[in-house]
A and B are shown apart, each in its own frame.
Chain A
Amino acid sequence: MSNFFIDLVSHTDEARREFETSSKVLDIVANGLSLERYRGLLLELYHVVWHFNPTCAAAASRIGDEHRHVRYFLYDHMNEEKGHEEWVLNDLEVMGVSGDRARAYQPTLTVLGLNGYNYWSADRRHPCSVLGMIYALEVVASVYGGQMTAAISDSLMLQGDRGISFISSHATMDAEHMADLRVLLNQIDDEAAKDAVIESTTFNFHQFGRVLESI
């Protein structure tokens, strides 16, 4: 078993901290969001979440048998994530945005770039790169999601999980996923796969930071 998780954390620590210390991210963590900006965040998130499983599926279909454990992990992960876009839609409904409007919403170029990179990387770079997307998004959710949830809930004076079910539940749920992901990543000993995961993680931190800055 390799110790790739340690290497991944170390090699992408700068990108994680750049995400964490972006002025917009700091502002959200400290002061929450206005209603309009929170709606904007959920609309962008919907289009990220909606493409999450298809990206994983694209990767799973290209992963060779030497990485079959990654493929099985993706099957399970997709099953767990299935339908979570509905949680975003439910939160949007609470915030006064209909499902039809959310589905018809044209995401920003930043989100298109994020989704585009993840499909391209799974297709052309290395299918294991999808693990970088998963790692980055789970770090965002499990490390910063709780703080953001608290700040947004305070700023909008929301009660319980009403209107924040997606980010609130992922803050907790992804903490459990993180441990599973670490075990999987430590089974990767193929250098090309490792490089692809590191690049993907770096890109996803960078681009997700830009998504938050764009709202």
Chain B
Amino acid sequence: MNNHVSTLVPSALSRPYRYVKLDWNADYSMLTVRMAVRPIQCYSLAAMSELQQVFNDIGGNPGLVRHFVMASDVEGVFNFGGDLSLFVLLVRARDLDSLRLYARRCIDLVWWWENAAHLGVHTTALMQGDTLGGGLESALLHHTVICERSAQAGFPEVLFNLFPGMGGWNLCIRRGGYMVANDAILSGQVFTADQLFRRGLVDILVEDGQAQAALEQMVRAMEPRFRGTMAALQARRIAAPITHESLLTIVDHWAVTAMSLTTRDMRLMERLARAQVRKVGGASGGAIEAIKRMELDTAWGFEKTGFSEWSTLT
């Protein structure tokens, strides 16, 4: 399988997508979806619509896809999560209904992932770069998360008085327990791949450039026990359930909370958006570095130095 050359995507799945790239491995009925929202890799409305279409096509053709793999086509970034500019737009317009609509579209995707085992689809995320907020939530949704050594991830939302609302709590608790979930969500900290692995948030840790090989090894090893694995994963959902109702209740709470963001909160969000842009430009100070600076500001800033970047934000 290492020498596998991707073949044509089955016609039932093939559509003229703009923000997702599909790769098909007929040997293992494996569909790889590479998100390609350039230059800022995030869950824009259009990208989410395309992803939903991919999910609909998989669901509409039972048995066609056995392995679903989520990867990034943008170097150095798995996914930055929500479309921050859209959030700012809707919050400034005080448009709770539209924010709820966006959030519920996210939950539609979350719910497909959550039910993938019942469709006979095993899901894997290849985290090969920076992963933030909703991007991390989407990674944690997969049955298996393969993470490369240089990847970093976190939930920065609390730094601007928000929280991850699209399944972050449910998924962190399921994977790592309450302590890990509390730490990951309430600290706003960015974790290294090693820290993510030790907390049980990712399943397989590999060196840079090895994620694809690890995926192929895993799929090959799973093949003879695929049906048992899928049955076990269905049972896992019963043992550690995440209900649609809890996802919707949390996401509604998230939308209401977002409406109370202050100008200062939104400027911090804009600062993060600006840092994402810098990352695109290849500068050293990307979004992860910006979050670390925000964390440092909180921990050390005003008390230690008498100056905080935050103090300039009104």
Residues of chain A touching chain B, judged by Cβ–Cβ distance below 8 Å, are: 3, 5-6, 9-10, 13-14, 16-17, 20-21, 23, 26-27, 29-31, 139, 142-144, 146-147, 150-151, 172, 175, 178-179, 181-182
With beta carbons under 8 angstroms apart, the residue of A13, A27, A143, A178 that contacts B281 is A27
Given A6-B98, A9-B98, A30-B274, residue A182 in contact with residue B93 (CB < 8 A): yes
Contact residues in A for B283 (Cβ distance below 8 Å): 30
Residue interface mask B88-105, A partner, CB < 8 A = 1: 111011110110010000
A155 to chain B minimum Cβ distance, whole angstroms, is 13
Alpha-carbon distance between A5 and B94 when the two chains are bound, in angstroms? 11
A62 to chain B minimum Cβ distance, whole angstroms, is 26
The answer on a CB contact under 8 Å between B95 and A5 is: yes
Given A5-B95, A5-B98, residue A26 in contact with residue B277 (CB < 8 A): yes
Alpha-carbon distance between A113 and B188 when the two chains are bound, in angstroms? 46
The answer on a CB contact under 8 Å between A5 and B274 is: no
With beta carbons under 8 angstroms apart, the residue of A9, A30, A181 that contacts B277 is A30
For the residues of A in contact with B, the DSSP-based class is helix
Residue of A nearest to B40 (CB): A21
Alpha-carbon distance between A175 and B277 when the two chains are bound, in angstroms? 22
Contact residues in B for A29 (Cβ distance below 8 Å): 274, 277
Given A14-B46, A26-B280, A147-B273, residue A182 in contact with residue B89 (CB < 8 A): no
User: Is B296 an interface position by the 8 A CB rule?
Assistant: no
The answer on a CB contact under 8 Å between B44 and A147 is: no
Given A16-B85, A26-B39, A178-B92, residue A147 in contact with residue B274 (CB < 8 A): yes
User: Is B21 an interface position by the 8 A CB rule?
Assistant: no
Contact residues in A for B118 (Cβ distance below 8 Å): none
Residue of A nearest to B18 (CB): A14
The answer on a CB contact under 8 Å between B44 and A30 is: no
The answer on a CB contact under 8 Å between B93 and A17 is: no
User: Is B8 an interface position by the 8 A CB rule?
Assistant: no
The answer on a CB contact under 8 Å between A9 and B92 is: no
B35 to chain A minimum Cβ distance, whole angstroms, is 14
The answer on a CB contact under 8 Å between B277 and A13 is: no
B19 to chain A minimum Cβ distance, whole angstroms, is 10
Alpha-carbon distance between A179 and B281 when the two chains are bound, in angstroms? 33
The answer on a CB contact under 8 Å between A143 and B92 is: yes
Residues of chain B touching chain A, judged by Cβ–Cβ distance below 8 Å, are: 38-40, 44-46, 83, 85-86, 88-90, 92-95, 97-98, 101, 263, 266-267, 270-271, 273-274, 277-278, 280-281, 283
A153 to chain B minimum Cβ distance, whole angstroms, is 11
Given A9-B89, A17-B46, A143-B92, residue A150 in contact with residue B263 (CB < 8 A): no
Contact residues in A for B83 (Cβ distance below 8 Å): 17
Contact residues in B for A17 (Cβ distance below 8 Å): 44, 46, 83, 85
B98 to chain A minimum Cβ distance, whole angstroms, is 5
The answer on a CB contact under 8 Å between B89 and A143 is: yes
Given A6-B97, A30-B278, A30-B281, residue A146 in contact with residue B267 (CB < 8 A): yes
The answer on a CB contact under 8 Å between B273 and A182 is: no
Alpha-carbon distance between A182 and B96 when the two chains are bound, in angstroms? 11
The answer on a CB contact under 8 Å between A142 and B92 is: yes
Alpha-carbon distance between A142 and B98 when the two chains are bound, in angstroms? 17
The answer on a CB contact under 8 Å between B46 and A146 is: no
Alpha-carbon distance between A3 and B40 when the two chains are bound, in angstroms? 29
Contact residues in A for B267 (Cβ distance below 8 Å): 146
Residue of B nearest to A144 (CB): B85
Known: A13-B46, A20-B85. 5 other contacts (CB 8 A): A13-B44, A17-B83, A143-B89, A144-B85, A147-B273
The answer on a CB contact under 8 Å between A178 and B89 is: yes
With beta carbons under 8 angstroms apart, the residue of A6, A20, A143, A146 that contacts B101 is A6
Contact residues in B for A146 (Cβ distance below 8 Å): 266-267, 270
B159 to chain A minimum Cβ distance, whole angstroms, is 17
Q: Which 5 A-B pairs have the closest CB atoms?
A: A175-B92, A182-B93, A178-B93, A179-B94, A13-B45
The answer on a CB contact under 8 Å between A179 and B277 is: no
Q: Can you list 8 residue pairs at the A/B interface with Cβ under 8 Å?
A: A5-B98, A17-B85, A29-B274, A146-B266, A146-B270, A172-B263, A175-B92, A179-B93
Contact residues in B for A179 (Cβ distance below 8 Å): 92-94
Contact residues in A for B280 (Cβ distance below 8 Å): 26, 30
Alpha-carbon distance between A5 and B93 when the two chains are bound, in angstroms? 10
Contact residues in A for B274 (Cβ distance below 8 Å): 29-30, 147, 150-151
The answer on a CB contact under 8 Å between B46 and A181 is: no
Alpha-carbon distance between A147 and B313 when the two chains are bound, in angstroms? 12
A13 to chain B minimum Cβ distance, whole angstroms, is 5
The answer on a CB contact under 8 Å between A9 and B46 is: no
